[in-house]
Structure 1
Amino acid sequence: MHISQSQPQLISSSHFSTNSFSLQRLYAKEERKGKEKKRKKRKKRKKRK
């Protein structure tokens, strides 16, 4: 975490909350994609067997 001393107010409470919210949404999407991929892979493996 490298924060420049010239802009300490850049990361305000509102900015941090919105940034964390967007990150949470992005992580949720990645988790959903990962779960879907894992399920698809499992189905493919079962079909191959």
Structure 2
Amino acid sequence: VLPLGLLHDPLFSLKTPSYLGLGTLGFIVAHEIMHGFDNSGVEFDEDGVRRN
């Protein structure tokens, strides 16, 4: 889940080049995807129940 606040200043602004905002957004999305591969996240099933 990404908050809609990411689509406002300073990430997306008419004052900065679009590649800066898109690059930052790509970094944030990749960072959040990586949370699915961390050591503690693999202990939970699709319902959020901890399983070993």
Q: TM-score, normalised by structure 1?
A: 0.51
- Tell me what 1:25 maps to: 30
Partner of 1:42: 51
More helix by share: 1
Identity %: 11
Unaligned runs of 5+ in 1: 44-49
Task: Give 1 or 2 for the bigger CA radius of gyration.
Answer: 1
- Off by >2 Å, runs of 4+ in structure 1: 1-4, 31-34
Q: Which runs of 5+ in 2 are unaligned?
A: none
> Equivalents in 2 of 1:17, 1:3: separation in Å?
13
- State the number of aligned residues: 38
Q: Which structure has more RCO (C-alpha within 8 Å, separation ≥ 6)?
A: 2
Normalised to the residue count of structure 2, the TM-score between the two structures is 0.49
